[in-house]
């Protein structure tokens, strides 16, 4: 397996992908304007995963245009940030809301019940194809 974009991210920025930070996820609406929302996420070493539902605007945005970008602010030095950008590469059904419960635990809310909208829950899987940092 060759080098990936992720291997090029300097460690002081790469660590942000492992922290339970609120990331700001940008998607493109069908009219071409940008939508940005704070999101829980988890990085698995290759992809960034988000819990979402199939009934919301962000999901509709990604069906029309799979481009996505996630911005993370360094909690220790807020003047520094990492932006990773790529596209939606998979949507995994999560009808029990298990990934939501997993992320709630990651973000410090253990033993959360599955959300009421579990039947519509999906996991959005984002590739990382480029990054910027400061």
From residue 87, how far is each of 20, 66, 120 by CA, in Å? 21, 5, 21
The domain total for the chain is 1
pLDDT (tens digit per residue) in 68-96: 999 999 999 999 999 999 999 999 999 99
Over residues 5-21, the pLDDT tens digits come to: 999 999 999 999 999 99
Asked if pLDDT for residue 1 goes beyond 70, the answer is: no
Query: Which residue's structure tokens are 């790469």?
Result: 14
Q: Specify the CATH number for the domain of residue 42.
A: 2.30.110.10
Domain ranges, residue 47: 5-133
């Amino acid at each position: 397996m060759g080098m990936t974009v992720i291997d090029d991210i300097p460690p002081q920025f790469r660590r942000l992908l492992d922290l339970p930070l609120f990331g700001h996820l940008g998607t493109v609406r069908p009219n071409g304007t940008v939508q940005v929302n704070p999101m829980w996420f988890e990085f698995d070493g290759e992809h960034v995963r988000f819990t979402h539902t199939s009934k919301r605007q962000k999901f509709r945005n990604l069906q029309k245009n799979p481009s996505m970008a996630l911005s993370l602010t360094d909690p220790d030095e807020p003047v520094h940030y990492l932006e990773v950008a790529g596209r939606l590469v998979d949507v995994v059904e999560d009808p029990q809301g298990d990934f939501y419960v997993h992320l709630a635990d990651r973000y410090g809310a253990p033993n959360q019940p599955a959300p009421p909208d579990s039947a519509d829950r999906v996991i959005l899987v984002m590739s990382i194809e480029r990054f910027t940092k400061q």
